[in-house]
Amino acid sequence: MGEFYAPIHIYSGPGALERLRHYNGQGVLLVTDHFFIESGVVEKIRALLPESKVTVFDQVTADPPAVLAAQGAALCRRHRPGVLVALGGGSPMDCAKAIRLASETAMTFVAIPTTSGSGAEATSFSILTHDGIKKPLVDPLLRPDAAILEPTLLEAMPKALIADTGMDLLAHCLEAVAATGATAFSDALAHGAARLAFAHLEQSYRGETAVRLFIHEAATMAGMAFDNAGLGVLHALAHSLGGVLHLPHGRLCAMLMPPVLAANAPAARPAYAALARQCGLQAATDALAVRDLTAALCRLRRRLGLPANLREAGVAPETVAAKREEIVAAALADRCCETNPLPVTRAMVEEILKAVVPWQRQ
């Protein structure tokens, strides 16, 4: 039996930010990072909420540590906001989610993503870092009640961020179609999201701001897909490598795609092939479709200027060698493994790791 549940209001398109007026008069806790104060977006939000007391928590950093959740929860207890607003990329989203959980305060949770990839605005996942290990929290309370997809917030997105987050979106599609919780409903979202990403990601990277809403919506669709279907070994390894190497999550996902497709193919070949065909890659057999999908992903990765492995990403061999056991152990313990289409074994993790650590083949 399959299950699909996605209770979220999505406001999408130019002017979506205006939806915030709906909350005017209620106390608001706004979780963001310093950049959005400097860029004037926080001021814009305040202007939409003239009768609200807006408390800003701007301490969020990349790979947010669990301690931030406690600090934000203390603010909630002091100000008793009725609305929690998360503004920014994956990190402010993850931090706001953890604050909601830790505060035990009933708040309407509104997510305003400013990058197009994590899908955090639509998921019950939050990734926090504790003692150098990235740990996914999963709880229905972490899922926002509303997502505001405002394309004007994407105009200044740096190219590297478009590339990294866009490949994360595609990794969510790949994992969602293969995961043990996949249904026709999650598949439809993952297929639609991947189609949009293949059609428009490179244009967005090259500076076409008009297509950015497509990618933004695709990221939310992919988030809804994996929130229901689950993820897999690709994210387990992206989390463990990210915790140790501090490389962008999507960049790690992009390099892990080909070896993960190969490792999971014995169980997931038909699912990957269906995704490939939905993206316009016609092939006579499922095996050929998966080969073409892998080639298309590698081609896109190259065009987005992303590294194919850790050596190209500038990681020193001794860094990985020293931390190898830690990386493997954290990946095996990651709860994303639970929904991988095949049981995740040490041998599988080692095999995938070998492909992204090319200097260890010699």
List of residues contacting Zn ion (CB under 5 A): 168
Q: In the complex, what is the shortest distance from the CB of residue 230 to Zn ion, in angstroms, rounded to a whole number? A: 12
Residue among 189, 187, 181, 265 nearest 230 (CA) = 181
Q: Which residue is nearest to Zn ion (CB)?
A: 168
Q: In the complex, what is the shortest distance from the CB of residue 105 to Zn ion, in angstroms, rounded to a whole number? A: 28
Q: In the complex, what is the shortest distance from the CB of residue 119 to Zn ion, in angstroms, rounded to a whole number? A: 7
Q: Which is nearer to Zn ion, 81 or 88 (CB)?
A: 88
Beginning with the edge strand found earlier in the chain, give each strand of the sheet holding 54-57 in spatial order: 9-12, 146-149, 108-113, 83-88, 28-31, 54-57
CA atoms within 13 A on the CB side of 221: 24
Q: What is the largest CA-CA distance in the chain?
A: 65
Q: Which is nearer to Zn ion, 168 or 292 (CB)?
A: 168
Q: In the complex, what is the shortest distance from the CB of residue 73 to Zn ion, in angstroms, rounded to a whole number? A: 25
Q: Which is nearer to Zn ion, 41 or 253 (CB)?
A: 253
| Distance of alpha carbon 102 from alpha carbon 134, whole angstroms | 18
Q: Which is nearer to Zn ion, 153 or 256 (CB)?
A: 256
| Distance of alpha carbon 333 from alpha carbon 131, whole angstroms | 15
Q: In the complex, what is the shortest distance from the CB of residue 115 to Zn ion, in angstroms, rounded to a whole number? A: 12
Q: In the complex, what is the shortest distance from the CB of residue 103 to Zn ion, in angstroms, rounded to a whole number? A: 25
Q: Which is nearer to Zn ion, 45 or 93 (CB)?
A: 93
Exposure letters 51-72 (e unless 16+ CB within 10 A, then b): ebebbbbbbbeebbeeebbeeb
Residue among 257, 210, 216 nearest 238 (CA) = 257
Q: Which is nearer to Zn ion, 30 or 196 (CB)?
A: 196
Contact 205, 162 (CB under 8 A): yes
